[in-house]
Amino acid sequence: MTQFFQKLGNTTLSSFAKLGRSSFFLLQTLSAISSVLIRPRLLNNQLYSVGVLSFLIITISGLFVGMVLGLQGFYILSDFGAEETLGVMVAASLVRELGPVVSALLFAGRAGSALTAEIGLMKATEQLSGMEMMAIDPIKRIIAPRFLAGLLAMPLLAALFSSIGVLGGHIVGVGMLGVDEGAYWSQMQSTLDFQDDIINGVIKSIVFGFVISWIALFEGYDAIPTSEGVSRATTRTVVNSAFTILGLDFILTALMFGDI
């Protein structure tokens, strides 16, 4: 019995300690961002590895998600004779939910895990300590550029995902199933609102980019510096990011679109 309480106390305390460490880490990172702006080259390298290398997976997934939405939407909507609203369905579901969420999940898997593994290995091979020995702040030099790159790349990737998805729905709906092209676009434009739909979708993706970068970098920075520790940290990044994205998505949707 005593053991149980001891274990419970230990878990509580260590999770609070981790929360504290991660908040402190975030504050340090945010205050170091200004030093990145003086050295855009660091940011450029990270935008390449986080953004450009995720480009292909995001666009291809976006295309197929849009095509599937077009296909499924068409079969259901044609039962009601409402194929003309296919554009609305595809665009609304992509811009509001699927674009930010699916691209964030892909981003966490593609870029977040890579960030954790990279930072974790730097720690395991004592590169971070080496930098500190040379009076170079690893937060400024290593962490902050990656954080900023994730924050910038995520909204761009989500926008690409949604746009390509809408085009994918167009290919299937208009090109293959014969929905009227004018109706596809005009119904979409008359239903979707710039502020309510597009801006809220972009805000979502910025929030997701922030959270993924934070989780990925902190897990790497906080990893136990062994090969097993790094592998666990990488797993935790993907799992925790996925949970956080989906949970936050519900909260953000409720705040933005719902009357809860």
Partner 1 sequence: MQNTKTQDTLVGLFVACGIAALFFMAMQISNLSAFSSNTTYTISANFENSGGLKVKSPVTLAGVRVGRVSNIFIDRDSYESVVEMSIESQYNNLPDDTSASIYTAGLLGEQYISLEPGGSEEFLATNSKIDLTQSAIVLEEVIGQFLFKDAAEE
Which 87-106 residues touch partner 1, going by CB under 8 A? Answer: 91, 95
Q: Which one, 62 or 112, has the nearer CB to partner 1?
A: 62
Q: Which of residues 137-176 bind partner 1 (CB under 8 A)?
A: 153, 155-157, 159-160, 162-164, 166
Contacts of 117 (CB under 8 A, 6+ apart): 220, 230, 233, 234
Given candidates 194, 228, 258, 260, which one binds partner 1 under the rule CB under 8 A? Answer: 194
Q: Give the nearest distance from C-beta 180 to partner 1 in angstroms.
A: 14
Task: Kindly provide the residue ranges of all beta strands, DSSP E only, lying in the chain, ordered along the sequence.
Answer: none
b/e sequence 65-93, b meaning 16+ C-beta within 10 Å: bbbebbbebbeebeeeeebbbbbbbbbbb
Q: Decide if 108 contacts 237 (C-beta within 8 A).
A: yes
Q: CB–CB of 54/152 below 8 Å?
A: no
Tokens of 241: 């990011």
Residue closer to partner 1 by CB (options 63, 242) is 63
**For partner 1, which residue of 36, 47, 105, 252 counts as binding (CB under 8 A)?**
47
As measured in angstroms, the least distance from the Cβ of 163 to partner 1 is 4
The size of the chain, in residues, is: 260
At closest approach, how far in Å is the CB of 5 from partner 1?
52
Nearest Cα residue to 237 out of 86, 20, 22: 22
Shortest separation between residue 166's beta carbon and partner 1, angstroms: 6
Q: Which residues bind partner 1 (CB under 8 A)?
A: 44-45, 47-48, 51-52, 55, 91, 95, 153, 155-157, 159-160, 162-164, 166, 185, 188-190, 192-194, 197-198, 201-202
